[in-house]
Amino acid sequence: MRYREVFQQSIEQPEAFWRDKASWIDWFQSPETILSQREDGHYDWFPDGKLNTADLALDAHIRAGRGDQLALIHDSPVTGTKQQFTYRELTERVARFAGALRDQGVGPGDRVIIYMPMVPETVIGMLACARLGAIHSVVFGGFASRELAVRIDDARPTLVLTASCGIEVDRVIEYKPLVDAALEEATHKPDTCVVLARPQARADLKDGRDLDWQTLEQAGNPVDPVPVRATDPLYILYTSGTTGKPKGVVRDNGGHAVAMRYSMSLVYNAEPGDVFWAASDVGWVVGHSYIVYAPLITGCTTVLYEGKPVKTPDAGAFWRVCADYGVNILFTAPTAFRAVRKEDPEADELAKYDIRSLKRILLAGERLDPPTYDWLTEKTELPILDHWWQTETGWAICCNPIGIETLPTKPGSATVPSPGFDVDILDVSGEPVGPGEQGQVAVRLPLPPGCLTTVWGDPGRFRRTYLDPAPGYYHSGDGGFIDENGYVFIMGRTDDVINVAGHRLSTGEMEEVVAGHPAVAECCVIGVRDEMRGQVPVGLVLLKDGATIGADELEDELVEMVREQIGAVACFRRAEVVDRLPKTRSGKILRRVLRDIADGEDYATPSTIDDPAILGEIENRLRP
Ligand code: COA
Ligand code: AMP
Mutating to test ligand 1, I would choose from 387, 569, 572 the residue with most ligand atoms within 8 A of its C-beta, which is 569
Q: Which domains does the chain have, with CATH numbers?
A: 3-307+387-480 (3.40.50.12780), 501-622 (3.30.300.30)
Q: Tell me, in angstroms, the distance from the centre of ligand 2 to residue 426's CA.
A: 18
Contacts with 385 (C-beta within 8 Å, 6 or more apart), sequence order: 360, 361, 362, 363, 399, 400, 402, 409, 415
pLDDT in tens, 565-623: 999 999 999 999 999 998 888 888 888 889 889 888 888 888 888 888 888 888 888 87
Q: Specify the higher pLDDT residue, 583 or 27.
A: 27
Q: How are strands ordered across the β-sheet holding 329-332?
A: 81-86, 70-76, 301-305, 275-278, 329-332, 360-363, 384-386
Mean pLDDT of 246-270: 98
From the CA of 174, the nearest ligand is 1
DSSP characters for 463-485? IIIIITTSTTEEEEEEEEEE-TT
Return d(Cα 621, Cα 624) in angstroms, integer: 6
pLDDT in tens, 50-70: 999 999 999 999 999 999 999
Using the CB atoms, write b or e for 374-383: b if 16+ within 10 Å: ebbeebbeeb
Q: Tell me, in angstroms, the distance from the centre of ligand 1 to residue 177's CA.
A: 20
Average pLDDT value for the chain: 96
DSSP 71: E
How many CB atoms neighbour CB 182 within 10 A? Answer: 25
pLDDT in tens, 35-48: 999 988 899 999 99
Regarding the beta carbon of 166 and ligand 1, being less than 6 Å apart is answered yes
Which residue's CA lies nearest to atom 3 of ligand 1? 142
pLDDT in tens, 158-176: 999 999 999 999 999 999 9
CA of 280, closest atom in ligand 1: 44
Q: CA neighbours within 13 Å on the CB side: how many for 232? A: 23
268 three-state secondary structure: coil
| Ligand 2, pocket residues at CB < 6 Å | 239, 284-285, 364-368, 386-391, 414, 477-478, 490, 493, 499, 504
Return d(Cα 344, Cα 310) in angstroms, integer: 10
Q: 93 vs 34, 113, 218, 288, 594, CA distance in Å?
A: 34, 19, 9, 19, 52
Regarding the beta carbon of 339 and ligand 1, being less than 6 Å apart is answered yes
Which residue's CA lies nearest to atom 2 of ligand 1? 142
